[in-house]
Chains A and B, each alone.
Chain A
Amino acid sequence: QQPVQSPQAVILREGEDAVINCSSSKALYSVHWYRQKHGEAPVFLMILLKGGEQKGHEKISASFNEKKQQSSLYLTASQLSYSGTYFCGTGFSNDYKLSFGAGTTVTVRA
C-alpha cells in the first residue's frame, strides 16, 4: 500500500516550477507531504484531507484528487532552499498507519 511518487528526481534552476505526484491504489483519507534535507529529519510541509481541508505552513501548494486517488505538490518559483527529498505519506480510513513513498529528490541550482 506504499504510494507511488513521480518523478524520482528533478533538477531546477531558481525561479522554475515543478510538480511532484503521489498516487495510491486505494481510496485515500489523507495525504502528508514532508521534505528531508541530507542528513536531517523529515520536516512537515502539508496535510490534505478527504473533503478538501488543508493544513500547512509553507509557501508550497498541493492538491488532492480523491477520485483519482492522487495528490500533487507544486513548487512554484523555486528557491535554493527547496532542495531536498520530498516524501508523500498516505493514510486510509480505519488505518492509523501512515505509509510513505520512495521520495522525489529535488535539486535547485542558482
Chain B
Amino acid sequence: GAGVSQSPSNKVTEKGKDVELRCDPISGHTALYWYRQSLGQGLEFLIYFQGNSAPDKSGLPSDRFSAERTGGSVSTLTIQRTQQEDSAVYLCASTSNLGQHTGELFFGEGSRLTVL
C-alpha cells in the first residue's frame, strides 16, 4: 500500500507475556518514529531511526522495550514481560526528510495493545 502499515491493529495479551508490533513505512522513507498514546493522552516519543545511524532510544520507558529496524525499512517494537500500564496505542510514523524534521510525518493507524 501507499501508506504506513502497522500490525497487528489490535493485540490483547496477558500480563507478563512478550509482544511484537510491526511497522512497514512508506517505501523510500529513511526516518521512522515510534510513539505511544495512552487513552486520551498525547503522543509520547519512544524511539527514532534515521537511515543507518544509531537510533535515538531516549524515549523508551524501560529496558523491557526495544526496537529494531531491519534493512532500513520494516521496524519491530518489542515489549517484554508486558505490564498493564503498557496498554496504549502504539503509533509508527515515517518521513522522507533527511534534514532535521522538516518533512511531514506520515502516521500509521496504530497498534492497540491491551494488557490484561
A and B held together in a complex: yes
**Measuring CB to CB, which residues of chain A are less than 8 angstroms from any residue of chain B?**
2, 29-30, 32, 34, 40-44, 47, 49, 55, 87, 89, 91, 93-103
Q: Could you jot down 17 A-B contacts, CB within 8 Å?
A: A29-B101, A30-B101, A30-B102, A32-B101, A40-B109, A41-B91, A42-B43, A43-B107, A89-B43, A96-B50, A96-B100, A97-B58, A98-B48, A98-B105, A100-B44, A100-B45, A103-B42
| Count of A-B contacts judged by CB separation below 8 Å | 70
- Which residues of chain B are within 8 angstroms of A44 by Cβ–Cβ distance? 104-106
Q: Which residues from chain A contact B45 at a C-beta distance below 8 Å?
A: 97-100
- Contacts A41-B109, A96-B50, A97-B58; A47 near B102 (Cβ below 8 A): yes
In the complex, A102→B37 CA distance in Å? 10
A32 lies within 8 A of B105 (CB): yes
Are B43 and A97 neighbours in the complex by a CB distance under 8 Å?
no
Chain B residue at smallest Cβ distance from A56: B104
Residues of A within 8 A of B106 (CB): 44
Known: A97-B58, A101-B42. A91 touches B107 (CB 8 A): no
Nearest-neighbor residue (CB-CB) of B110 within chain A? A41
B100 touches A97 (CB 8 A): no
User: With the chains together, A91 CA to B50 CA distance in Å?
Assistant: 15
Residue of B nearest to A99 (CB): B45
Query: A89–B104 Cα gap in the complex (Å)?
Result: 11
Interface residues in B, total, Cβ within 8 A = 26
Q: Does B56 reach chain A (CB closer than 8 Å)?
A: yes
Contact B48 A100 (CB under 8 A): no
Least distance between A104 CB and chain B CB atoms (Å):
10
Known: A41-B109, A103-B42. A97 touches B104 (CB 8 A): no
Binary interface encoding of chain B residues 24-57 relative to chain A, with 1 for a CB under 8 A from any of its CBs, else 0: 0000000101010000011111001010000010
